[in-house]
Amino acid sequence: MAQAAGLSYSTARTTWVSSTSPYLIELSFIIELDYFAKLNYSIKFNYFIDPNCAIESSYIIELRYYGSGYTDAFYLNEYSGNLPNAYWRCLSVDPSANIPYCATALVGGLLGVVAGLFLAKRRKKHEPLPEYVACLDREKAPSPTNTLELDQFLLEPKPEATIASELLSLGHIIQRHAEKHYHLHPVQLESNQLRQPLSDLGIERGSAPAIARIASLALEPRTRLSAIRYVIAKAAFESTVIGGSTCVSLLPPVVSGMSPIVPFIGGDEVTELAITRWRQLSAFLLHPNRSQRAPLEPSEDISTQQAQQLTVALIRFLQPFISSDREERYEQENHLREVIAECATFGYVIFSQPSEYRFRFESNGGLNTIVVCPGLDKVISEGGRRYMPPLPQVAAPVVESI
């Protein structure tokens, strides 16, 4: 321990390595400066001396302040850097000896420079030290300027023109599926025999008139394919909607489990904002690779098992219009499941968007038309503001006359 007026320092550690490799000398010094204020400099020097006596050195300085009446040090700042390299004519170094004289001299000189700089600075006008904020008052402290913005990690909105194009493509896929796998022959079947499978699907939310109308359209060969396209599209897309009425949900279980208690659309502004934020965060947290900022995708279980459950529920309604050939029925079931999986993938894209969208199966033509591919309306903005009618239309529904 060495002392001077208002200055004391001590060597905390000395490390020596084998003479067969470059020498490492690590010195840790504690300098206490009690000139006008209680400050503590912790200085650490690292020396690497190779056999050619080239010295590479670095330093780390930590500054701590002891306020009046406090016993714990408050961390103020830290400085670090590299000192200029130097070549020394070293004496013969023995590993059992103490540190080389050249390193000792360099450290002592540096300590003198640090102390001199500090004392010269303290002679200037005294500046108040940073105000200490107690733990209990941290909520009153000013917020940092680099506050983390969560939105920069959430999904970027997909261009609505692209969304509309993808929805229309899915409508064409459903159309080709219907034209290939369902016949237009008359069937000996009563309308009420189709109503129960339609009701079980849940696509009409138990509306008896709507169910009866779809059943009648399916029995009529002229309008059958239109009715089938409507039923498949509504069951597939509604299965990916929070609060959807289909018998099988293709949403992640943690989301579909919340659907019965979430008033998705039509609540007060605060509730709608909270639900929008919940959906955005759910899509982000459920994503296996969040850094990609990509839409959530259905899991393998959803694309296979749950899609198969919805396929089976649809076949109960479609059964009378499927060929009796075993291979054709097998092909129809597999293709229907693939169609549902494609629609589910698109539904997840909509679920992941910052804004809220709603599939629209209503048309202005009334009972003389039927929607074979839904439209898409923008209901709530990215910030949670609900749009007033008429809603912004992203995609118009595809409508056929009957």
Q: How is the chain split into domains, by residue range?
A: 2-140, 151-401
User: Greater confidence, 43 or 366?
Assistant: 366
pLDDT for the residue numbered 22: 45
> Across residues 45-63, what is the average pLDDT?
50
pLDDT above 90 for 333: yes
Cα distance between residue 237 and residue 342, in whole Å: 10
Q: Does residue 260 sit in helix, strand or coil?
A: helix
- Which helix (DSSP H) or strand (DSSP E) does residue 244 occupy? none
> Is the link from the previous residue into 298 a cis peptide, with omega within 30 of 0?
no
Cα distance between residue 240 and residue 304, in whole Å: 15
Q: How confident is the model at residue 307 (pLDDT cuts 50, 70, 90)?
A: very high
pLDDT for the residue numbered 214: 96
pLDDT for the residue numbered 272: 75
Tokens of 172: 């064409």
pLDDT for the residue numbered 154: 81
pLDDT over 90 for what percent of the chain?
Answer: 44
**Chain position carrying tokens 């989301």:** 255
Closest by CA position to 364, among listed 397, 337, 387: 397
Cα distance between residue 83 and residue 345, in whole Å: 59
pLDDT above 70 for 125: no
Q: How confident is the model at residue 85 (pLDDT cuts 50, 70, 90)?
A: very low
User: Greater confidence, 242 or 78?
Assistant: 242
Burial class (CB in 10 A: 0-12, 13-18, 19+), 74: middle
User: Greater confidence, 99 or 256?
Assistant: 256
End-to-end Cα separation, the chain, in angstroms:
100
pLDDT above 70 for 140: no
pLDDT for the residue numbered 60: 54
pLDDT above 50 for 81: yes
The predicted model scores a pTM of 0.63
pLDDT for the residue numbered 136: 39
Q: Give the tens place of pLDDT for each residue, 182-210.
A: 999 999 998 889 999 999 999 988 799 99
pLDDT for the residue numbered 212: 95
Q: Does residue 264 sit in helix, strand or coil?
A: coil
Cα distance between residue 231 and residue 236, in whole Å: 8
Tokens of 210: 């709507």
Q: Which residues pair with 348 in a beta bridge?
A: none
Q: What is the DSSP string of 67-82?
A: -TT--SPEEEEEEEEE
Radius of gyration (C-alpha) of the chain in whole angstroms: 37
Cα distance between residue 242 and residue 253, in whole Å: 11
Cα distance between residue 62 and residue 240, in whole Å: 56
With the C-alpha atoms ordered 369, 370, 375, 379, is the resulting torsion angle positive or negative?
positive
pLDDT above 90 for 384: no
346 neighbors 170 (Cβ within 8 angstroms): yes
Q: Give the tens place of pLDDT for each residue, 335-363.
A: 999 999 999 999 999 999 999 999 999 98
Q: Give the tens place of pLDDT for each residue, 262-292.
A: 655 556 777 777 888 888 889 999 998 888 8
Tokens of 259: 């659907």
Q: What is the mean pLDDT of the chain?
A: 74
SS3 content of the chain, % helix, strand, coil (to 5): 45, 20, 35
pLDDT for the residue numbered 102: 42
**Chain position carrying tokens 């004391």:** 8
